[in-house]
Amino acid sequence: MELHRSCSKLLNCDRHLYYLGLAKLSSTNSCDAIPTRLKWLFTPYGYKFFISHKFTKEVKNRNLPFSSIGNIIDPLAIQMKIYREHLLEMAMQILVSPGQKSETNQDKKTDINDALKYIELLRDNVVVDARTVFGASHEQNCQDLVAQWWSTFVAIACHWLLDDETNFEHLYKKIELIPETLAVLNDPLPKAIVAAFIARKDYLISDRKVAPRKILQQCDYASHLLADSLTLTSCKKKDNLVLLAQLVVCDWLLETRTSLWEDSVDDGLKAPVSNYVLTTFQADLSSVRSIAEHIPHFFPFVMSDHLSFSDEDMEELLYYKRTTDAI
């Protein structure tokens, strides 16, 4: 109880460092285990985040939910939601633009493994006990299924970039189970993510049981959903997390289409590129450019701004492939 009182006070007092110290001291002197929902405060990164960010009593309105909140009048629950979304955004920024200065070490440049570290911190925080700082009587646990789903999406994207196809296949089933909170929304971005995931996964599986034509059809379905998402969000205030997620979907689609075309060339099929291939690739390319207008610093993740698209030996497709592989 003393630990809860201290944590409650630190959210409403300029001397939050003092009260956080009291909470930490109380946790070490108590025989009771630290409540799960408070453990993030006593991790090195969670502590640093808590004392450095600006506190707010209101939940930021987003175009899509990226984390759920159990009790909207619980100030600590609000800060925990902000913390989760911060971890997710840090991971996604590194995912789409590795090589930037590290937040935790200015002498080091970020890589995909750093993104996975943020995801690990997020996973450690998405299962919490239901007690509020005001002290409830029950001890049940509740999960942030929304944040869990988004963390699964980012983790899969990271592992694919690392060419790790063995240690994370247990995540495949999880990403296909969209939480109801996301599934009922007008924005089809979560459905576009799953559709693009299925296309990319079907291409990457080693035994190649899925025909290329079926994979392309899956890409088309994902492209359609992504276009609907872009149309829906075009008239809304831009949300970095939404834009970054849309960009990853574009990359999955372009990578898959490019790889399928390269495979056909390797198999000796040197027939002229069909209008269908050109049109669908151009549609995904247009989606990338529309996103890049709002986050231009992440544009190199997909391709250079001067890329022109033509059908001469599909050189642009190969250029795209070489560019993304080099990053």
Q: Which of 127, 120, 180 is nearest to 152 (CA)?
A: 120
Where exactly are the structural domains of the chain? 2-143, 186-326
Instruction: Tell me what pLDDT residue 143 has.
Output: 80
Sequential DSSP letters for 100-139? SBPSS-TTSB--HHHHHHHHHHHHTTSEEES--TT--S--
Distance, in Å, from the CA atom of 185 to the CA atom of 189, rounded to the nearest integer, reads: 9
What is the residue-level pLDDT of the chain in tens, covering all 327 positions?
A: 444 554 544 454 455 666 666 666 666 666 666 677 777 887 888 888 888 877 666 667 787 899 987 777 777 888 888 999 999 999 999 998 888 877 777 668 888 999 999 999 999 888 655 444 444 444 445 688 999 999 999 999 999 998 876 677 889 999 999 999 999 999 999 999 999 999 999 998 866 678 989 999 999 999 999 999 999 998 888 899 999 999 999 999 999 998 888 887 766 655 566 778 888 888 998 898 888 888 866 655 554 333 334 444 445 555 544 454 544
Residue 123 burial class via C-beta count within 10 angstroms: exposed 0-12, middle 13-18, buried 19 and up: middle
Q: Where are the beta strands (DSSP E) in the chain?
A: 127-129, 141-143
DSSP, collapsed to helix, strand or coil, labels residue 318 as helix
Instruction: Tell me what pLDDT residue 270 has.
Output: 56
Instruction: Tell me what pLDDT residue 215 has.
Output: 95
Torsion sign (Cα): 39, 41, 42, 43: positive
CA distances from 158 to 153, 189, 191, 319 (A): 9, 19, 19, 22
Cβ-contact 251, 92 below 8 angstroms: no
Q: Where are the beta strands (DSSP E) in 13-167?
A: 127-129, 141-143
Written in H, E and C, the secondary structure of 228-242 is HHHHHHCCCCCCHHH
Instruction: Tell me what pLDDT residue 234 has.
Output: 87
Buried b (16+ CB within 10 A) or exposed e, 235-253: eeeebebbbbbbbbbbbbb
Number of C-beta neighbours around residue 285 at 10 A: 20
